[in-house]
């Protein structure tokens, strides 16, 4: 049985609850890739993967899907192939689009239970926060993972408790200015940036990966804690 070890850990009832959830991953880069990999290996039977981009050679140092053979493939296509090799029973819905205010609402037509926001765009992150509240879908959002070397500094927290992270600072202010009272759960590091950066942000294989795994751990632990009862964004 593919998921026997997880069942031994969480029990048959919780495994069934996990398998029945629909999870969407927005952004299939360093963070989103590891979130996708780990959530699929937990037995999810339906996943929505969202990314408009192709795999570049520069992704090889940090993105699990990136290999010499996969360069130039669309990320959603490469991930569909990989997911089916892990769990052929998992239904994969691919969205090969850049998400903005004009098309974001249609993502919520899939009866989502959870969203992993692993995209790079500040605007898209805020759109996902607003829409997840509107449609009552639980969201875990990854803040910046570039320019960092210590994955142990990553924590799951409400956006209001973040520090040092420039991306989180912008979102924290926007959440405050818009008087959003709901919890906005994020994965964020309190590690200061290693270097002063202008242009391309340096990164590695292990900090984004850890952030992606923490996103999955948030979802799995939330399902077990709530018994599958989604009192979302409370």
What's the pLDDT score for residue 196? 85
In this prediction, the residues of the chain whose per-residue pLDDT falls under 70 are: 228, 230-234
What's the pLDDT score for residue 234? 44
For residue 102, give the 3-state DSSP assignment: coil
pLDDT digits (tens, 9 = 90+) for 13-66: 999 999 999 999 999 999 999 999 999 999 999 999 999 999 999 999 999 999
What's the pLDDT score for residue 146? 95
Contact yes or no for 87/2 (Cβ under 8 A): yes
- Tell the CATH topology of 4-226: Rossmann fold (3.40.50)
List the 154-158 sheet strands across, edge first: 91-95, 46-50, 22-26, 114-117, 138-142, 185-189, 154-158
What's the pLDDT score for residue 199? 85
Q: Domain extents for the chain? A: 4-226
């Amino acid at each position: 049985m593919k998921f026997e070890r997880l069942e031994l850990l969480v029990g048959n009832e919780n495994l069934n609850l996990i398998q029945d959830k629909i999870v969407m991953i927005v952004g299939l880069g360093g963070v989103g890739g590891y979130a996708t990999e780990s959530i699929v290996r937990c037995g999810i039977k339906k996943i929505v993967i969202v990314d408009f981009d192709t795999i570049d050679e520069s992704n090889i140092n940090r993105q699990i899907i990136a290999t010499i053979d996969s360069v130039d493939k669309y990320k959603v296509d490469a991930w569909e192939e990989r997911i089916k090799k892990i769990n052929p029973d998992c239904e994969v819905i691919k969205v090969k689009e850049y998400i903005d205010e004009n098309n974001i609402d249609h993502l919520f037509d899939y009866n989502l239970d959870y969203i992993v926001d692993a995209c790079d765009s500040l605007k898209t992150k805020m759109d996902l926060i607003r829409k997840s509240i509107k449609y009552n879908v639980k969201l875990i959002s990854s803040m910046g993972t570039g320019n960092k070397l210590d994955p142990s500094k990553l924590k799951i927290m409400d956006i209001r408790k973040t520090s040092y992270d420039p991306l989180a600072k912008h979102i924290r202010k926007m959440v405050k200015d818009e008087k959003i009272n709901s919890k906005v759960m994020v994965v964020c590091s309190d590690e200061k940036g290693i270097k002063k950066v202008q242009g391309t942000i340096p990164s590695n294989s292990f900090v984004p990966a850890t952030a992606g795994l923490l996103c999955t751990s948030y979802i799995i632990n939330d399902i077990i804690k709530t018994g599958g009862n989604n009192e979302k964004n409370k």
